[in-house]
Structure 1
Amino acid sequence: MTRPAFPPLTDDSWPEAARGLRDGFAGKLNVYRVMAHHPALLNAWAPLRAHVVVDNVLGKQFSEVVILRTGVHLGSSYEWNHHVSRGRACGMSDARIASIKGAPDEMEPDDATLARAVDELFTDKRLTPETQTALVALVGREGVFDVIATVGFYSTLGYILNSCDTPLDANVAAELEAQPLAAT
Structure 2
Amino acid sequence: MTDPLRFPPIPDGAWPDQIADLRDGFAGKLNVYRTMAHDPELLKAWAPLRQHVVIDNALGPQLSEVTILRTGHNLESSYEWNQHVHRARACGMSDAQIGSIRGPLAAMDADDATIARAVDELFGVKRLSPDTQKALIALVGEKGLFDVIATVGFYSTLGYILNSCGTPLDDDISADLADKPFTG
TM-score normalised by length of structure 1: 0.97
- Please list, as runs of the form range in 1=range in 2, the aligned pairs for 1:117-132 lying within 5 A after superposition: 117-132=118-133
Mark the CA change 1:101 to 1:136 in structure 2 (over 3 Å): closer, same or farther. same
Q: Give, in whole Å, the separation in 1 of the partners of 2:172 and 2:98.
A: 19
Q: Give, in whole Å, the separation in 2 of the partners of 1:171 and 1:124.
A: 36
Runs of 4+ displaced beyond 6 Å: none
Deviation at 1:161, TM superposition (A): 0.1
- Please list, as runs of the form range in 1=range in 2, the aligned pairs for 1:8-157 lying within 5 A after superposition: 8-157=9-158
Q: Give, in whole Å, the separation in 2 of the partners of 1:3 and 1:172.
A: 22
How many positions carry a matched residue from both structures?
Answer: 182
**1:28-56 CA-partner distances (Å, limit 9, x unpaired):** 00000000000000000000000000000
Report % sequence identity: 67
Q: In the alignment, which residue of structure 1 is the partner of 2:183?
A: 182
Deviation at 1:79, TM superposition (A): 0.1
**1:56-110 CA-partner distances (Å, limit 9, x unpaired):** 0000000000000000000000000000000000000110000000001100000
State which drifts further: 3-12 or 109-118.
3-12
RMSD value over aligned CA atoms? 1.0
Mark the CA change 1:88 to 1:147 in structure 2 (over 3 Å): closer, same or farther. same
TM-score normalised by length of structure 2: 0.97
Give the partner amino acid of 2:165: C
Q: Give, in whole Å, the separation in 1 of the partners of 2:104 and 2:182.
A: 18
- Please list, as runs of the form range in 1=range in 2, the aligned pairs for 1:163-178 lying within 5 A after superposition: 163-178=164-179
Q: Give, in whole Å, the separation in 2 of the partners of 1:98 and 1:132.
A: 25
Give the partner amino acid of 2:12: D
The answer for unaligned runs of 5 or more in structure 1 is none
Deviation at 1:153, TM superposition (A): 0.1
Deviation at 1:3, TM superposition (A): 8.3
SS class of match (1:181):
coil
Deviation at 1:180, TM superposition (A): 1.1
The answer for unaligned runs of 5 or more in structure 2 is none
Mark the CA change 1:93 to 1:4 in structure 2 (over 3 Å): closer, same or farther. closer
Deviation at 1:4, TM superposition (A): 6.6
